[in-house]
Amino acid sequence: MSVQEYLDKHMLSRKIEDAVNAAVRAKTPDPVLFISNHMKKSVPSVITKVKARQILDSRGIPTVEVDLYTNKGVFRASAPSGSSSGMYEAIELRDGDKGTYLGNGVSRAIKNVNEKISEALIGMDPTLQVQIDQAMIDLDKTEKKGELGANAILAVSMASCKAGAAEKEVPLYKHIADLAGKTNYNLPVPAFTLISGGKHAGNNLAIQEIMILPIGARKFEDALRMGAETYHHLKAVITEKFGLHGCNVGEDGGFAPNISSLKEGLDFVMEAIGRTGYSEKIKIAIGVAATEFCIGTKYDLDYKSPNKSGQNFKSGEDLINSYKELCEAYPIVSIEDPFDKEDWEHSKYFSGLGICQVVGDDLLMSNPKRIERAIQEAACNALMLKVNQVGTVTEAIEAVKLSKDANWGVVISHRSGESEDSFLADLAVGLGTGQIKAGAPCRGERLAKYNQLLRIEEELGDQAIYAGDDWRQTADSFHK
């Protein structure tokens, strides 16, 4: 094909002429750059290459990172990973070779991206998120994405979403809002982890975490400052009690002092809040993760204390009474997984009391069927959305829609294994969830999300709305 034939086939002469005319009208000081950018805009972008690699997450465990190429650039995303996985969530594909990364390598998932997913997606329009995600689901052919690996599929899905935003020349959160059919977005209230326990820390605290929510802040920037100041005041409180060795942190950055009592931890947090002067503006949330210490139908709050374990079991009714007392004594507005993932009856009863937000985490595992059952049985009133549990951006959006239609709250959540990818921040803003849980206001992989929210708030300017008192983004909120 001659040069002239090539120009004629692709109508390049007309496009070049249009670009030159546009440059003249714009009186641009750099016509070559202007014409180059104008030509890029005139050509629809398609996916040209998908390349995956194995990286380490914040725990030093392998995960999948993807570079997705279009003629607009290269877009990178990495899959988060949790410390536990359930039977109802999408399956991470790991190698199982104990001689390499203790069996946690993801070379099989990497191979699936580079050889199978890449071939299926090349040539697709990155703005068509639903079609891209469906193509990967169809390629996988399993209910829980066990063939290609949810970690492989999710990383590609997130990278595609970023590429789609670039193609539309809009911020990522705006593109996500468009995908969800939303026209408004807000900055979420952050749930900062202050004290870590459970599987995330080496202390004797059975529950997973104690968090604070700066609901009374005027904007996200103020909320982040309140969280950071409270965090550092708590460090001083713990140091006074235990010395500096009490200030070791858990996987998500929360302090892990050697406490065994939830009340003791709450008292430390209350003391820290009091020192900030923000007592009227900060509420408390607790992540119980009761499945971790449920044995049969009983709960062993001393399961991490070898000398006490098995001697003081609590029933579901005992826990309900305990939660009621705690909510009366402390400004607790949200409790995550107060019971075992299969303890539907106690979850339903406690949620029906209307004392606080009851978040389904292990109870739901972001699984649509579990969410639908919980809605029908009123077993909780909020979803903990973990994108790796569903495996694609499209399915995450659908899970949020399902929950919001039921007048539930939604918490966009990190995992214990995170990276510097800030995707969750844009997801929370774009879907207008009103709540985000990304760990303590320290550690780079946690702050990547919080700092991105700062940037988004700055970019939105006068249009930025902080969820604040409307943190649940529903018709009902829990005020204390």
Q: Which residues are annotated as a binding site for Mg(2+)?
A: 302, 336, 361
- Catalytic: 386? yes
Angle at which helices 316-329 and 262-276 pack, to 10 degrees?
20
Provide DSSP, 180-207.
HT-S---BPEEEEEEEE-GGG-SSS--S
For the chain, the distance separating the N- and C-terminal CA atoms, rounded to the nearest angstrom, is: 74
Q: Could you give the C-alpha distances from 85 to 193, 268, 434, in angstroms and in order?
A: 21, 31, 26
Of 89, 60, 92, 63, give the one whose Cα is nearest residue 78: 63
Q: Which two tokens stand for residue 144?
A: 């829980």
* CA neighbours closer than 13 Å in the CB half-sphere of residue 367: 20
User: Which residues share a beta bridge with 436?
Assistant: 190, 412
Annotated binding site for substrate: 200, 209, 336, 361, 413-416, 437
Provide the strand spans (E) within 250-374. 283-287, 294-295, 298-300, 313-314, 332-336, 357-360
Cβ neighbours for 445, distance < 8 A, ≥ 6 positions apart: 57, 58, 418, 419, 420, 439
Would the CA dihedral through 355, 399, 341, 260 be positive or negative? negative
Report the alpha-carbon distance of residue 18 to residue 26 in Å, rounded. Answer: 12
- Catalytic: 252? yes
Cβ neighbour number for residue 389 with a 10 Å cutoff: 27
Alpha helices in 10-81 (DSSP H): 12-26, 31-42
| Contact of 412 with 428, CB cutoff 8 Å | yes
User: Which residues share a beta bridge with 385?
Assistant: 412
The residue type of 269 is V
DSSP state of 461: G
Catalytic residue among 252, 300, 337, 343: 252
Report the alpha-carbon distance of residue 361 to residue 358 in Å, rounded. Answer: 10
Catalytic residue among 162, 182, 386, 449: 386
Annotated binding site: 200, 209, 302, 336, 361, 413-416, 437
Report the alpha-carbon distance of residue 376 to residue 378 in Å, rounded. Answer: 6
Q: Which residues are identified as catalytic?
A: 252, 386
